[in-house]
């Protein structure tokens, strides 16, 4: 007689969601690829993506059209209007930035190099300072080769107030005393430019001690003129005559 009994029940299969494959035993669900996630974000934020692209394009265009900053160098300039004869100090100058192509020769970058120097000509506020504007060797900048700076003491010190650097003068020697000896005049130099005078703002010259520069005039002379002017004050009285800029030397 065949054995009878209860057949063992089959193990129930795990329920699965429709449309999804059964995961392999011991494996985890695979994440979505990044490209698919980015595509999904881009699909949801189209307007934001377009705005970001437009901003990036505008930034690139501005960067390309903006010129590179020009190279500059620092030089000294007048901090305010300065009169001729002024003795410079740190408060009279400041540093300004200028393109190298606009910087003249003889400029200064360090204010310590001009402390105590005396101006031979007035400066406007913002005007660059050069050695040609200071009492000293720079006064002969641009003069013909062989030119010399010749100091002359005028017979009438007060006449110095009538002349300023850059003006042309004839230097006249007058001999005799006007009484026993007849007075004769001789032009020693014609149309020589004035470099410096002791009458500038009533300040004494930097070349001489205070009180020794009264009536002193410094002119730029050719070698021949310098020979005639040297020691001329010992031969008589010296005067100057103002001449026009078109007068021949």
Residue boundaries of the structural domains of the chain: 70-134, 137-249
Of the chain, the percentage scoring pLDDT greater than 70 comes to 74
Predicted local distance difference test score (pLDDT) of residue 64: 76
pLDDT level of residue 206 (50, 70, 90 thresholds): very low
Number of Cβ within 10 Å of residue 14's Cβ equals 7
Given the structure tokens 């980015």, which residue do they identify?
38
Of the chain, the percentage scoring pLDDT greater than 90 comes to 14
Domain 70-134 class, CATH top level: alpha beta
- Which of the pair, 31 or 190, is modelled with greater confidence? 190
Across 98-107, 167-176, 204-213, least confident range: 204-213
DSSP 124-177: -TTPBPBGGGBSSGGGGTTPPTT-EEEEEE-S-GGGGGG--TT-EEEEEEEES-
Average pLDDT, the chain: 77
Note the pLDDT tens digit of each residue in 101-148. Answer: 888 888 898 888 888 888 877 889 999 998 888 877 777 877 788 888
Beta bridge partners of 82: 123
Looking at residues 173-187, what average pLDDT do you find?
72
Note the pLDDT tens digit of each residue in 62-71. Answer: 777 777 677 8
Query: Which residues are within 8 A (CB) of 33 and not within 5 positions of it... i.e. 6 or more apart?
Result: none
Note the pLDDT tens digit of each residue in 14-41. Answer: 555 554 555 455 545 565 677 777 677 7
Sign of the C-alpha dihedral computed for residues 95, 101, 103 and 105 taken in this order = positive
Predicted local distance difference test score (pLDDT) of residue 209: 42
Predicted local distance difference test score (pLDDT) of residue 11: 53
Q: How far apart are CA 151 and CA 147, in angstroms?
A: 13
Note the pLDDT tens digit of each residue in 38-85. Answer: 677 767 777 887 888 888 888 888 777 777 677 888 999 999 998 877
pLDDT level of residue 168 (50, 70, 90 thresholds): very high
Going by DSSP bridges, is the β-strand pair 148-153/93-98 parallel, antiparallel, or unpaired? unpaired
| Consecutive H or E run containing 96 | strand 93-98
The rounded Cα 114 to chain-centroid distance in angstroms is 15
Confirm if 87 and 117 have CB atoms less than 8 A apart.
Answer: yes
Q: How far apart are CA 119 and CA 101, in angstroms?
A: 25
């Amino acid at each position: 007689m065949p054995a009878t009994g209860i057949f063992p029940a089959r193990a129930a299969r795990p329920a699965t969601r429709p449309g999804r494959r059964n995961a392999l035993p011991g494996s985890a669900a695979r994440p979505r690829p990044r490209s698919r996630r980015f595509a999904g974000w881009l699909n949801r934020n189209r307007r934001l993506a377009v705005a970001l692209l437009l901003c990036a394009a505008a930034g690139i265009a501005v960067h390309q059209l903006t010129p590179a900053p020009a190279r500059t160098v620092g030089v000294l300039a007048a901090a305010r209007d300065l009169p001729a004869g002024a003795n410079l100090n740190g408060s009279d100058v400041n540093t300004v930035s200028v393109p190298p192509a606009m910087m003249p020769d003889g400029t200064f970058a360090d204010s310590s190099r001009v402390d105590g120097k005396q101006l031979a000509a007035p400066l406007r506020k913002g005007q660059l300072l050069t050695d040609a504007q200071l009492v000293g060797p720079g006064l002969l900048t641009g003069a013909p080769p062989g030119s010399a700076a010749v100091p002359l003491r005028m017979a009438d010190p007060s006449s110095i107030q009538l002349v300023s650097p850059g003006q042309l003068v004839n230097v006249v020697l007058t001999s005799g005393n006007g009484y026993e000896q007849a007075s004769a005049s001789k032009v020693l130099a014609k149309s020589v430019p004035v470099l410096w005078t002791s009458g500038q703002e009533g300040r004494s010259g930097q070349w001489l001690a205070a009180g020794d520069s009264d009536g002193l005039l410094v002119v730029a002379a050719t070698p021949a003129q310098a020979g005639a002017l040297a020691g001329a004050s010992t031969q008589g009285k010296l005067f100057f005559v103002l001449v026009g800029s078109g007068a021949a030397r």
